[in-house]
Structures are given as structure tokens and as C-alpha cells.
Amino acid sequence: MALVLAIRLRHPVTLQTGAAPDLAFEMEGATCTVEVQHKSSVSPFSAVFYPDSKTLEQYRNSHSSWQAAALQLHDLLERLAVNIEPAIGSVLAEPRWSWEERRAQEERCGVLAAWLAAQLEGADLSRPATLSGDGAEFIVTPLSAAPGRIAGHRPIDAFAIREHRNGAETDGVSLGEWLSAAIAGKASKHQTGRGGLYVVGLVIDEPFARSGHLLTSILLGGLIHHAVDRRSYRGVPEGRVELLRAAAERGRGPLLQLAQFNPAKTADYVGLFFEDAVRTDVDAVVALYYTGELQLVPNPFTERPIEQLCSLFPVTLDPLTLETS
């Protein structure tokens, strides 16, 4: 994050420690501080069935049952002359973003790995076979010599990406809730160590969040598209229209237009910048995606001067690359 911001801003970015926010940079005498949160979601199936050699060595020092099962399977493959191609069911392939849900999926993959190792130990591996386990199938074909390998994969069924909670208690944590919790958790940090502006920085190593529209929806509210008359807008939460008027009086009209707010429409989903705790504490959110793209979403309702910060970025809410910006 520090390096990319320094390239984008063409200005030094300072790394900070202790009670201060993680990063700081100067803007015409004003200091902007950035508190960074790294958000990544490793696939439990990949962690069990496709670890690299360095990761496997780390598993040897672990007390986790699923890592022990993964290690047992891959140690066995070193002695077997087989190629294994998994077919993965949605129960194991669907991304899970909360720690508890990922932990349960890891444990389930570990049980599956232990089962597969037991099947391979007693199987006739001189001819092709298909082994059907809990949530996955494995196409096993013989090789001319050891070691064996797990290569490629295909889906058994499809799954939907849960960007937002749909109201069902069994849905688990959605991608939007996962990112929202990170932003809200950083909003109130370092109250005494901030500069003139306080920005939450997200390093997002999650392919399903890469487009940037999810982050703007989380912060500003969902964008409604009307296909017939080809117009789009964001509604305004009930009782929050006055925030738009105050922002316009501060000269934030261009930013409000960029967000496409329509005060005549009521929003069902309340963006974080409309919530008092985030609105009063956070001046902007900047996201760095695994693609190297950078996205700035300013808070149009902050009472602090964000114009200089906004001027350092192109007039867009979309992610941008350093090469084309």
C-alpha cells in the first residue's frame, strides 16, 4: 500500500509504528494518515489439496488436524505413481469470508484428504478409477513412475457469490459484511494520532471484490439501474437528505453527482458513509486490489477539507491502474 500510494501521489509516504496510523503523507502542509487493513480469503480446498512445498513444510510444525491430513496425503503421493484430478462441489468451493466459516470448511477438506489417502492406500492404482467423497470426486489415473500429483480441477455444480446478506440466517457472512466490518473496525482507531485527514486503507486480495462496485455500494449505498430509460441512481436513507444539502453547501456537488445520489429516492441499503460513526471519523477509503489497481472513495459528508486529497486522483469512483491514470 505504501509503495503504490507513493507512486500514485508522486510523493514520499511514511511508515509509522506504535499508536499512530500505519501510513502518513503531506499535502501542502496538511498531513493525511492511513490505517491499513489486509483482507484476503484463501481457498480451504486449495490450502489442503494444492499447497506448495514451502507451505507443506510449515504444516509439519502445525497442530491443526486439517494441515496434518494435507501433509499425510502429499507425503503419500510422493510414493505413488498417480495423477489425481479433483471435481469440486460448491460446498467446498464456495468462498467463505468469516474466520469461523473458513475454519469449518478447512476441517471438512481435511477430513476429505484423510479419506482420500486411505482410499489410495488400498486401491488398485494400475488402472483409472473415480473415487467419490464428501463434496468432491477424484479421477485417478496411473503414471509411469512416482511421485504422484494433484493437477487441475473442475466444478461439480455452481454457487452464487454472496455480496450482501439476503436476510437468511443460514447464509453466513457475505463479502460485503466482511469488508464493512473491516472499515467500521478501523473507523474509530487512533483518535489522538491522526493527521488532518484520516483514511482507511484496504489491501484486498479477493478476486470477487476486484471490480470496485462492491466497495462503493458498501460506502455510498447500492446503485440502482433502470434498463428502460437507461439511468442509474443511489437512493438516500430516510432522514439523511440533509446530509446531501450540507455537503452541497461545502462545495461537494461534483462528488455527489459522481455518486449519483437521488434525494427523491429512498435507499433500502444504508451505506457506511451515512452511518454516524463512520461518517464523522473517516474522510475516505482507499483500496489496493491484488491486480495493482487503486480505488479512492471519498466521504462526501465529512466536515474536513478533502479537496486536496481528491485532486490527487482522477475524477472516478472506479479502480484505476498506475499505468493509465
pLDDT in tens, 161-178: 888 866 555 568 899 999
Say yes or no: 169 and 301 in one domain.
Answer: yes
**Mean pLDDT on 210-234:** 89
pLDDT band at 11 (very low <50, low <70, confident <90, very high): confident
Q: What is the mean pLDDT of the chain?
A: 91
pLDDT of residue 324: 43
Asked which of 116, 132, 155 is the last residue of a domain, the reply is 155
Say how far apart CA 16 and CA 324 lie, in whole Å. Answer: 29
Residue 131 lies in a domain: yes
Q: Is the pLDDT of residue 136 over 70?
A: yes
Say yes or no: 128 and 64 in one domain.
Answer: yes
Cα 179 to the center of its chain, rounded Å: 7
The residue type of 92 is L
**Mean pLDDT on 308-325:** 81
Say how far apart CA 309 and CA 241 lie, in whole Å. Answer: 25
pLDDT tens digits, one per residue of 38-60: 998 889 999 999 999 999 999 99
Q: Give all strands of the β-sheet with 197-205 in edge-to-edge order.
A: 14-15, 23-27, 30-40, 197-205, 284-289, 294-298
Asked which of 121, 137, 155 is the last residue of a domain, the reply is 155
Written as nine digits, the cell of 180 is 464493512
Number of other CB atoms surrounding residue 293 within 10 Å: 20
Say yes or no: 12 and 77 in one domain.
Answer: no
Say how far apart CA 194 and CA 297 lie, in whole Å. Answer: 19
pLDDT of residue 194: 86
* pTM (2 d.p.): 0.86
Say how far apart CA 78 and CA 164 lie, in whole Å. Answer: 43
Rg for the chain (alpha carbons), in Å? 24
Say how far apart CA 49 and CA 221 lie, in whole Å. Answer: 39
Say yes or no: 183 and 81 in one domain.
Answer: no
pLDDT band at 88 (very low <50, low <70, confident <90, very high): very high
Going by C-alpha positions, the residue among 263, 304, 262, 268 that lies closest to residue 283 is 304
Residue 253 lies in a domain: yes
Number of independent structural domains in the chain: 2
SS3 label, residue 281 = helix
The boundaries of the domain holding residue 91 are 44-155
